[in-house]
Amino acid sequence: MPNTPAILLLEDGTSFAGQACGKIGTATGEICFNTSMTGYQELFTDPSYFGQLLISTNVHVGNYGIKETESESDLIQIAGLICRDYTNSFSRKQADQSIEDYFTQNNLVGITGIDTRAVVRHVREKGAMNAIVSSENTDIAFLKNELKNVPGMEGLELSSKVTTKEAYTYGNPDAKYKIAALDFGIKKNILRNFDNRDCFIKIFPATTSFATLKEFQPNAYFISNGPGDPAAMDYAVETVKQILEENKPLFGICLGNQLLARAVGIPTYKLHHGHRGGNHPVKNLKTGKCEITTQNHGFAVDMEALKKSDKAVLTHINLNDNSVEGLEIVGKKAFSVQYHPEAAPGPHDSRYLFDDFIRMME
């Protein structure tokens, strides 16, 4: 691979020098890090990462290649990649192509050969911020000026940029259950988990009206994960309110958890540096059991507001920082979690939630 110089510049003026990987160019977005040891392709294609520069804390990226069937969406969703060792050669016989071919074909800009531990420690201390990666212009003054034009994540509505343009179906039309899913950036493995449980799913664009969802005559509704600030999604909150009025089973994941909270008047806020990885401990307050979970979010539900609410109750809590990880709506067949029970990548401790949803439909 050519040894082209590249620069990572953070919003606070901190810079790191490395080498280019993927396409020669420039990428901007909010910087975040994921601590997962495997599953880099699933992370690249997770729509919840749209508009973000992803740091992989795992040293080796690309060492087992790229396999088409392991994508969580049809496109690479990250704005750019930051890693320590970008490995173009791969040993897995089942892989379809190298990471470099994959990135080049998808116009993805990245930087490698930098101390990612130092970058992550900096972000953990200073908090999430915008950044720029460039291999076409390494002049710091120029990059600082470019970075001024990048919008902050807070107040940014992004789900409309990653949602499906047209409604589509997934699974067996003769399945026992029908689910209407609002797509704010839905992952394929969520659909696989529903399909495996005898569900036929119709996936609707983010701005679909409740009346259109209801025409499908579903047994239940699903609110997906996705990118951006839930406080900028009043259109989605209104739809969730209308779903709650019908009082059919409702399940939300990640952004779906935040939208469900806001639908009953509980606010959300931006986390200092987010939760992203496959090793986050969560306690189920109903069973007393703990789970190791997969997470990917930069916003969360306000804990104090939830405790004071008579509309919802806390069901799951993060054992690292005591943040909200799940809730149920009082008097409704509606619940949600902040983490990803479909776990691609990650542990399968939380897949019982899909079974709980099925039982709710029964």
* Catalytic residue IDs: 254, 340, 342
Single out the residue of 162, 238, 237, 257 nearest to residue 203, CA to CA: 162
Contact indicator for 92, 64 with CB cutoff of 8 Å: yes
- Output DSSP code: residue 250: E
110: its two tokens = 């990245």
- CA separation, residue 146 to residues 31, 112, 123, 222, 322 (Å): 15, 21, 20, 39, 37
Q: Which helix (H) or strand (E) holds 189?
A: helix 188-195
- CA separation, residue 123 to residues 13, 37, 53, 94, 273 (Å): 13, 19, 12, 36, 7
- The Cα–Cα gap between 227 and 184 comes to 8
Going by DSSP bridges, is the β-strand pair 52-56/80-82 parallel, antiparallel, or unpaired? Answer: parallel
- The Cα–Cα gap between 360 and 362 comes to 5
HSE of 22 in the Cβ direction (CA atoms, 13 Å)?
29
89: its two tokens = 């050669």
| Angle at the Cα of 81 from the Cα atoms of 149 and 225, rounded to 5 degrees | 80
